[in-house]
Structure 1
Amino acid sequence: MSQIGGATCTWRYLGRFVTLGIYASVALFVWYTLVPTRSKHKDSIAINNNNADPATALIPVHTKNVVIYAATKFFGHPITTERFLATCPDVQNYCRITQEESEFDNADAVLFHNADYRGSTDKFKKMKSQRKPGVPYVLWSLESPTNDMFRPDSHMINWTMTYRTDSDVWAPYGTIVKLKNPVEVDLNAIWEGKTKTATWLASNCITQNHRFDLIKKIIDNGFEIDIWGNCGKQVSQCAGVDNQESPCVLELIKPYKFYISMENSNCKDYVTEKFWKALNDRMTIPIVLARKYYKDLGVPDSAYIAVDDYATLDEFLAHVKKVNKEKDLFLSYHQWRKEWKVIIGSGFSGWCTLCNKLQDKDYILKNPKSYKDVAWWHSFEMCNNQIASKYL
């Protein structure tokens, strides 16, 4: 027995203390290794309060393996881990997508792509009758209700994964975030690189919101717009939405001052990659039909021009023609670049978010939900396709 600092200490007590310390260390190690961390980040497309690349957005440090069974294809094409988790490669370390029906029983979620959903098949009927608690059935869609109504039966779907901000899993085509620190932007270089007026690349010419009719009327009133794709001239490798990522499209559009970013339907939160890309590396001023849809998504008012800001088409044309001619006025629509950053989502970012959300099994079990009428949720009072009619 010996005395340390005035306290009596024996080797017996010291041995017990060391043993307890070892047990506590092992317990802590097991806890942090096996228990998944609940991510505090709403979605993987968001970035933190810095100017970091969104691809480095935080994911849970401690994770469990997750399997998502894709019960349908994506417009007839396979749904694979390599394609749909490409924007978050780190997530692939613990999350994978399978289309093997044999893995249905072990899946952490079952996903249906709405356009490929066939609810009357024996396969889907079996899934409805054999579902398990804590395994959400997820409905994924990139389309507006004008273009594609939701198909599943009552209470078949637990979560929605769409571009809508109120979806259970948010899967936007893009978003915009405020930078913590302003950045330098060479505005003069933007002006000097613009040699043409306005352009539009589209594959869908006949739409319920009459956008093409309005575009043709704008042209008839003396505002030059070059039209490419199915609605205008054909350009090799550039026509259609499937080639939006082609460098050819960037080269085609970047010399223009304006890009016609009118969607094929005017619906809540339905803002596609054509708007976000026009803002981003194409360095154009998007022309849209209605301000509300972009304001609701937090886009700065000075980043685009909305037709419905003007009482008449003549007033709109007078303004846009002035912007086309005056350098300072044109560059005022690019000042936002110093304080904001566009993040391209393409609608696939929802998969990364879904993988992270599936980490919290306890939350899923304690908060069950299902949609009595998912088609109503998707469509009721969500669209106004009459905005252009005022100007025709």
Structure 2
Amino acid sequence: MARLSARKLFAFCLCASAFVFLLITLQVVEELGQFEKALHTRPLKDRDGLTQIQAFPESPVLTDDRVSPGFASGFPVIVWWSPLTGEPGRLGECGHNRCFFTINKSYHSHPSTQAFLFYGTDFSVESLPLPRKQHQHWALFHEESPKNNYKLFHKPVITLFNHTATFSHHSHLPLTTQHLESLHALTSHKFLLPLAQKNQLRHTLAPVVYVQSDCDPPSDRDVYVQELMKHIPVDSYGECLHNKDLPFHLRDSSAMDEESFYQILAQYKFILAFENAICDDYITEKLWRPLKLGVVPVYYGAPNVQIWLPSNRSAIVVDPKQSPKELALYLKSLDKNDQEYLTYLDWKMKREVSNQILFKELKERQWGVQDVTQENFIDVFECMVCNRVWENNNRQNEGLAPRVWQAEEHHLTCPPPKLFDFAVNPSNGSSLRHIWRASYDQSVREARALRRLVLRNRNFSATQFWREVFTD
């Protein structure tokens, strides 16, 4: 009985200790929550003592919407209206200038806020920093496909912005080579296989490989490839037109940059490098990857791709007016003629990039790709805007008129998507294929409606926006 009582006492003490610990934990969590709430609602001057970042050393008195002449002693606030960076507040160093960057939208009306940054994919008409004051800059960062937000690709919307960083080489900060690390990566022989070995592998592999899991995009690439498959063997590892399996550990999309995946692709003679949209300068890893691996890309995408190729004969550029059968016959002829095939790899063998435009771009661009010794392009974009804000502040202090930056139509543009007229196998068809042209046409009306509403310079609701769209 004494042993039993001791066990009961021990169990009681254990439960009581756990209960007390739970109460203490809940109290601590509640206090932390109160502290967090107080931190986010506290005036900026009080928060500075906690963050060690003083965004506003001085609080100039403003008599109207213009920036105070004494503002240069403080830091301009630049708000990411799209929360791309996730940073609640950071004092950024941009050469001799500093700006306070934040995703906190409550800074919208702060007198020191001078610029708003937008990420194109997240650009929403339902939430814009309106009214827009005359001195406030709008800047757009958009490196992705037009299908993510078609309305940005029309003159009425793109020209609402002062500064741009897009895949177009015409933009203020061109990101055309965003998927290419360096000249060294392009000319490296790390994955290059001897042609004799590729010829030997042709006993088990097709001459052409295709890897896509984003099926039926605006470029209509899958329909072209499906027709091409009727005339030449193609190993398709992705979900689109799938006919061959990758090893299990490489089937996830996150494995597309694994060396073992590269080694599989490097065994082929040709890679179908088809973009999801057809726009000048919209060039992704689909082109650069085969060039880095020593495989000849069969490229369908940017109509001006020749501007960016490492040499005049480094890729087979698909002419959409050319039939897939004609392309297949050409690939078959190269597959059988080693000397002719190797002319597409001559630049790689010699490690020579003869295209001076590409050479100059990679040497002189202000940002790096997968390089910790260089700034990334988001930081460079932020500093471009910061420095331009400071330039106008300094001009104002000197009694000069502000400099005006303005995005132009060709900073982000793309023609309407077109469908190929080949017969489509119903089992492989997708309802997505037919939405892109309608989506594009609708986006033209959306762009005009959005511009009209923004120029009225007052807040509007989603209902008002759509009413404007459908009365266009």
Q: Specify the TM-score bucket, using the shorter chain as the normaliser.
A: 0.5 to 0.7
Gaps of 5+ in 1: 1-63
Report the counterpart of residue 140 of structure 1 in structure 2: 141
Give the distance between the partners of 1:359 and 1:139, measured in 2 at CA. 16
If each structure's helix is expressed as a fraction of its own residues, which one has the higher value? 2
Could you say what secondary structure the match of 1:302 adopts?
coil
Instruction: Give the match for residue 252 of structure 1.
Output: 264
Q: Do 2:219 and 2:418's aligned partners in 1 also have CA atoms closer than 8 Å?
A: yes
Match of 1:383 in 2: 415
TM-score by length of 2: 0.53
From 262, 265, 269, the equivalent of 2:277 is 265
- Out of 362, 365, 373, the position equivalent to 2:391 is 362
Aligned to 1:295: 306
Per-residue CA deviation, residues 48-97 of structure 1 (Å, 9 max, x unaligned), is: xxxxxxxxxxxxxxxx99975322135xxx5469xxx9xxx999x97885
Q: CA RMSD in A?
A: 4.5
TM-superposed CA distance for 1:170, in Å, is 1.3
Partner of 1:6: none
- CA 271–66 in structure 1, closer or farther in 2 if over 3 Å, else same: farther
In 2: Cα distance, 1:95 partner to 1:286 partner = 43
Structure 1 residue 334 corresponds to structure 2 residue 336: no
Contact 1:209–1:388, Cα closer than 8 Å, also in 2: no
Alignment of 1:1-392 (within 5 A): 69-74=79-84, 79=86, 98-101=102-105, 105=110, 109-121=115-127, 124=128, 127-129=129-131, 131=133, 133=135, 136-150=137-151, 156-174=160-178, 189-192=193-196, 194=198, 195=201, 196=205, 197-232=207-242, 235=246, 236=248, 238-239=250-251, 243-280=255-292, 282-289=293-300, 292-308=303-319, 311-337=322-348, 338-340=351-353, 345=369, 349-357=376-384, 358-360=386-388, 361-362=390-391, 366-370=402-406, 378-379=412-413, 382-383=414-415, 385-386=417-418, 388-389=420-421
| Residues 101 and 384 of structure 1, relative CA distance in 2, 3 Å threshold | closer
Structure 2 Cα separation of the partners of residues 324 and 120 of structure 1: 54
Matched letter for residue 362 of structure 1? E
CA distance in 2, matches of 1:239, 1:102: 43
CA shift for structure 1 position 285: 1.0
Give the conservation status (yes or no) of the 8 Å contact 2:166–2:174. yes
C-alpha distance in 2 between matches for 1:186 and 1:171 = 26
Describe the SS at the equivalent of 2:229.
Answer: helix
- Structure 1 distance, partners of 2:157, 2:320, is 40
- Find the structure with the greater CA-based Rg: 2
Work out whether residues 274 and 300 of structure 2, in 8 Å CA contact, stay in contact via their aligned partners in 1.
yes
Q: 1:290 to 1:160 in 2, by over 3 A?
A: closer
Alpha-carbon distance between aligned partners in 1 of 2:378 and 2:124, rounded to the nearest angstrom? 21
Q: Could you say which structure has the higher strand fraction?
A: 1
Question: Structure 2: which 5+ runs fail to align?
Answer: 1-73, 363-367, 396-401, 425-472
Contact 2:76/2:100 (8 A) holds in 1: yes
* Cα offset, 1:302, TM superposition: 0.9
Query: Which letter maps to 1:171?
Result: L
Higher relative contact order (CA 8 A, sep 6+): 1
| 1:321 aligned counterpart, secondary structure | helix
Given the superposition, is the C-alpha separation of residues 240 and 294 from structure 1 closer, same or farther in structure 2, using an over 3 Å criterion? farther
Q: Is the 8 A contact 1:275 1:286 kept in 2?
A: yes
- Percentage identity across aligned positions? 16
Amino acid at match of 1:351: I
CA contact (8 A) 2:210 2:234 kept: no
Q: 1:157 Cα shift?
A: 2.1
Distance 1:186 1:238 in 2: 20
Q: 1-side partners of 2:190 and 2:263: how far apart?
A: 19
State the TM-score, normalizing by the size of structure 1.
Answer: 0.62
